[in-house]
């Protein structure tokens, strides 16, 4: 239970990855693939942290720097894309059609996941460090964090369809895209500082 609560406290924040999962869920576009990639990636990172990889990453400062700058570049690009979409209003297509191919969506969610330095700091280093304090029970802690991750991404992706009626209007998409764009810029700026 401690692992699940700790894990959820770290991932239940609307950042780049969660905003993308939410958007795909609302659009009903490749939701299963997006949720699966996020959950499996999180599981791999949680396991790496519980196994003690966080201590190694913590000592390789240059690796965190490289991932940070790649993440900043990607977040700025994603923020600009969101702001541009806000000026080309759209509405929710009842048929769930989307211009993005499965391949494009997969590449985007992989980039949002693996180029995000917060993932390494929060999931591998911080969660891994907390897991180490549980001694032999650290794997149970990791299992709890993993369950929390699966529940979160599934709820976010598949539960987002409840927002579909609200987002049937172009103005709602404009607001969502503006908010997502601004969040991406804030996260990128926080990484720089």
| pLDDT reading at 156 higher than 70 | yes
Q: Cα–Cα distance between 45 and 37 in angstroms, integer? A: 12
pLDDT at 144: 92
User: Residue 160's domain spans which residues?
Assistant: 2-192
Residue-level pLDDT at 94:
37
Q: pLDDT for 65-115, tens place per residue? A: 776 677 678 778 878 887 887 887 655 443 444 468 999 999 999 998 898
Residue 1: helix, strand or coil by DSSP? coil
Among 52-66, 76-90, 139-153, the range of highest mean pLDDT = 139-153
Residue 162 has pLDDT above 50, yes or no: yes
State the total domains in the chain: 1
pTM of the model: 0.69
Note the pLDDT of residue 192: 78
Q: What is the pLDDT of residues 173-192, one digit of tens each?
A: 788 778 878 877 887 787 67
> How high does pLDDT run on average in the chain?
80
Query: Residue 60 burial (CB < 10 Å; 0-12/13-18/19+)?
Result: exposed
Q: With H, G, I as helix, E, B as strand and everything else as coil, classify residue 30.
A: coil
State the pLDDT confidence band at 11, using cuts at 50, 70 and 90: low
Question: For every residue of 44-65, which 3-state class applies, written as one string?
Answer: HHHHHHHCCHHHHHHHCHHHHH
Per-residue pLDDT band at 8 (split at 50, 70, 90): low
């Amino acid at each position: 239970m401690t692992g699940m609560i700790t894990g959820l406290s770290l991932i239940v924040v609307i950042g780049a990855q969660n905003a993308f999962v939410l958007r795909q869920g609302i659009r009903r576009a490749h939701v299963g693939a997006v949720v699966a990639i996020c959950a499996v990636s999180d599981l791999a990172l949680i396991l790496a942290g519980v196994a003690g990889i966080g201590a190694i990453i913590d000592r390789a400062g240059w690796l965190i720097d490289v991932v940070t700058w790649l993440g900043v570049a990607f977040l700025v690009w994603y923020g600009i894309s969101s702001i541009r979409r806000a000026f080309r209003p759209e509405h929710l297509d009842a048929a769930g059609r989307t211009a993005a191919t499965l391949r494009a969506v997969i590449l985007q969610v992989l980039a949002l996941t693996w180029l995000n330095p917060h993932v390494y700091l929060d999931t591998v280093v911080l969660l891994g460090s907390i897991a180490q304090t549980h001694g032999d029970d650290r794997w149970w802690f990791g299992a709890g964090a993993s369950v929390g991750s699966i529940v979160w991404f599934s709820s976010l992706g598949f539960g987002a369809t409840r927002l579909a009626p609200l987002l049937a209007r172009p103005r709602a998409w404009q607001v969502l895209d503006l908010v997502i764009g601004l969040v991406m810029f804030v996260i990128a700026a926080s990484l720089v500082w």
